[in-house]
């Protein structure tokens, strides 16, 4: 099996060896294992590795590809922010989480060398080189069922912390989604009617989620108003006197 492994080292991978170079691409959950930013002819581009071990270079900045990815897969930034807030992790580097599907950054998202990893495809992760902080990631492969090994150069502790936080957010999202099904009488709910303590806890969490989401949306509107400078001094003064300051809980 070892001889059939597909292996890619992202830290040393030359762009001359990419399989495809395209101007645009629809990134989906099931076909991709990671994304990272690269420069191509002195222009920002995005390097993508899929489950078959194929490499793809999209001639668009990573932030633009991620934005398109979030939109096409109905990933709400507000939902992710609120869930991290509820779990007491507002300062943790946020992953893109949609239930069991998780796109986790290896480090801070402002870092130009950040690698976004589809951890729901991840089978195993281990330190490949402690001196250079190299991580070896093993994914389920779509190529003859052989494992796909990808090496990235990032601190294992940082990546594992981000991944564990994403797991907690995914668990909370799935619980709340299941409880909504129960509340609306939909089939498939796993919440037991007799499980009073769990139903009570989920009820409080759902109320907290809705409240935080409303606050976040209010703060977002206020933030945009401040940025666009459309408020008069009197309006700004009135907003400053509100019970909660504009967008202060979500500056992390």
pLDDT at position 148 is: 87
Angle, helices 196-228 vs 156-183, to 10°: value is: 110
Q: How far apart (Å, rounded) are the C-alpha atoms in residues 171 and 202? A: 12
Who has greater pLDDT, 161 or 218?
161
Give the Cα separation of 35 and 109 in Å (integer): 12
34 has pLDDT over 90:
yes
Contact at 8 Å (CB) between 202 and 176? yes
CA distance 118 to 96: 9
- Is the pLDDT confidence value at 145 over 90? no
Amino acid 183: pLDDT: 83
Supply 98's token pair.
């949609």
The pTM for the full model equals: 0.80
Is there a contact between 176 and 189 (Cβ–Cβ < 8 Å)?
no
pLDDT tens per residue, range 74-132: 888 888 889 999 999 988 889 999 888 899 999 888 888 899 999 998 988 887 766 66
Instruction: Kindly state the average pLDDT of the residues 35-39.
Output: 93
Mean pLDDT for 241-250 is 47
Q: How far apart are CA 2 and CA 131, in angstroms?
A: 24
Whole-angstrom CA distances from 124 to 73, 111, 162, 178 are: 25, 24, 15, 29
Tokens of 142: 């779509």
């Amino acid at each position: 099996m070892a001889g059939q492994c597909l292996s890619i080292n992202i830290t040393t991978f030359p762009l001359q060896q990419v399989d495809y170079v395209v101007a645009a691409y629809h990134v989906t959950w099931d076909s991709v294992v990671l994304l990272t930013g690269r420069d191509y002819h002195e222009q920002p581009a995005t390097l993508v590795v899929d489950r078959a071990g194929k490499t793809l270079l999209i001639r668009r900045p990573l932030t633009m590809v991620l934005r398109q990815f979030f939109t096409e897969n109905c990933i709400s930034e507000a939902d992710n922010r609120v869930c991290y807030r509820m779990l007491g992790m507002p300062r943790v580097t946020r992953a893109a989480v949609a239930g069991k599907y998780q796109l986790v950054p290896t480090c801070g998202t402002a870092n130009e060398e950040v690698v976004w990893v589809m951890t729901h495809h991840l089978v195993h992760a281990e330190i490949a080189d402690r001196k250079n902080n190299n991580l070896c990631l093993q994914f389920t492969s779509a190529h003859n069922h052989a494992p796909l090994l990808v090496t990235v150069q990032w601190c294992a502790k940082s990546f594992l912390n981000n991944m564990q936080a994403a797991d907690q957010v995914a668990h909370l999202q799935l619980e709340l989604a299941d409880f909504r099904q129960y509340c609306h009488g939909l089939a498939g709910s796993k919440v037991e009617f007799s499980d009073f303590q769990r139903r009570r806890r989920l009820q409080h969490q759902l109320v907290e989620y809705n409240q935080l989401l409303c606050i976040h949306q209010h703060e977002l509107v206020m933030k945009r108003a401040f940025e666009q400078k459309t408020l008069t001094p009197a309006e700004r003064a009135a907003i400053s006197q509100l019970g909660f300051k504009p967008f202060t809980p979500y500056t992390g």
